[in-house]
Amino acid sequence: MQGLDDATTVGVAGPVALAGAIRVPGDKSISHRALLFAGLAEGESTVRGLSRGDDVRRTRQALAEFGVRFTDEDGYLRVLGGLREEPSTVLDLGNSGTAMRLIAGVCAGQDMHTVLTGDRFLRARPMDRVAVPLRSMGATVDGRQGGRLAPLSIRGGNLSGIHYASPVASAQVKSAVMLAGLSAAGSTTVVEPVATRRHTEEMLALFGVDVEVDGTAVTVRRSTLTPAEVDVQGDPSQAAFWAVGALIAPDSRVRVDNLYSGHGRTGFVDVLRRMGGRLDFDRTTGTLEITSGPLTAVSIGAEDVPGIVDEIPVLAVAAAAAEGTTVISGAEELRVKESDRIKSTVAMLCAFGVHAEETPDGMVIEGTANRRGGEVHSHGDHRIAMAAAVSGLAATGPTVIHGWDAVATSYPGFADHVAELSGGAARLREVTS
């Protein structure tokens, strides 16, 4: 894979119909946690269905620097846990905000010194939201701008539990504090303004930790993790691209199998159904079936955002194809993702001839049936690149996407699935910019 700062440009031409059944990569958020908790548990754990994207690879490499050992078997990964060594080098977490924030929580609980860095996009994302609570527990955390930006330097150990009211609804912040709380004296409670996805709570329980959930509050205590077997189901955030693609590309019908359907992860299905989308989701089997059809505009507010925060770029593509004007609000968190996703999403839509405008906490999108191919820059953001590809599959004429490299962070097989679902009619091909 080329580095994320290298600008690979790809092209695709539409419109094309999408048809068939696929499995998307293992859930990225769960994959990070499966590796981290297996690494913390003394003994051997097994992980199946792990995401193969670069983000998760970075977490694995970081854990190896602590002395965690990995063995790739046929179809699964063996993890011999235990943080035995102080890292002798700076841990480079690439483009992964999840990896940096969660590993910061792990480092805070260890009597070690660790330095965390990432690519230029990750080094621009706010890390004070984890540095502040970790300092209040007793860790020493420093970095650029007083610890607001990476690289982060962390000296951990000798922590005390805290009661932390998080000012942001962020599963990453919650998880970082909980991970530190596993090594802290007393109890640690995190209270969120809105309940976020519960991957950490679910997986800590699987690894033998007593986790208390009371509304938007979560409490853990000093705990020893026991090895476990983890099966990582498909990533709903990746399935959302095919859900929107199948809805807006003419004469399409797509099935996505084995999706994770836990708390806070399938909000995109609800939003697309509100738009009139024809989706059938079996939560027991994790099977999602989508059939193309007309969409109508909706309002997406702050109450929706925690369950769709990663899917908003591709939901905006659906809104661009819907009849009427869609308003998205309460999504200011998008300003500090891999890119400023409000700005980059609006720029992407405008490239396709859609009238879209930024607001401080969202966007306003006027749907149109006359979308033409466009020229889009990913701004180093994998979700912008893939949303642009989905839009291009349903638009008329060629689409060019700059910065396609970013897709490798989460979905390196995306181009293969484009070719498979289009029956070879559409292929993302590298072009000279």
Residue in 310, 361, 381, 405 annotated catalytic: 310
Encode burial over 80-102: b for 16+ CB neighbours within 10 A, e otherwise. Answer: bbebeeebeeebbbbbbbbbbbb
Interacting residues of 57 by C-beta distance below 8 A, sequence separation 6+: none
Q: CA–CA distance from 233 to each of 30, 195, 349 (Å)? A: 9, 22, 31
Q: Are 182 and 209 in contact (CB under 8 A)?
A: yes
Q: Are 28 and 98 in contact (CB under 8 A)?
A: yes
**Cis omega before residue 151 (within 30°)?**
yes
DSSP category for residue 405: G
User: Which tokens sit at 200?
Assistant: 């950490």
- The beta strands (E) that lie in 257-352 are given as 278-282, 287-291, 299-300, 325-328
Other Cβ atoms within 10 Å of 391 Cβ, number: 32
The rounded radius of gyration (Å) of the Cα atoms in the chain is 21
The Cα–Cα gap between 209 and 33 comes to 14
**At residue 223, what is the residue type?**
S
DSSP category for residue 182: T
The Cα–Cα gap between 241 and 213 comes to 31
Q: Which secondary-structure segment (H or E) carries 398?
A: strand 397-402
Tokens 């990663």 identify what position?
Answer: 310
251 is catalytic: no
User: Which tokens sit at 372?
Assistant: 């033409």
Interacting residues of 64 by C-beta distance below 8 A, sequence separation 6+: 70
DSSP category for residue 25: P
Q: CA–CA distance from 399 to each of 8, 297, 303, 425 (Å)? A: 14, 24, 34, 14
The Cα–Cα gap between 192 and 4 comes to 33
Q: CA–CA distance from 305 to each of 2, 29, 176, 287, 330 (Å)? A: 32, 17, 21, 23, 7
User: Which tokens sit at 38?
Assistant: 């297996």
Catalytic residue annotation: 310
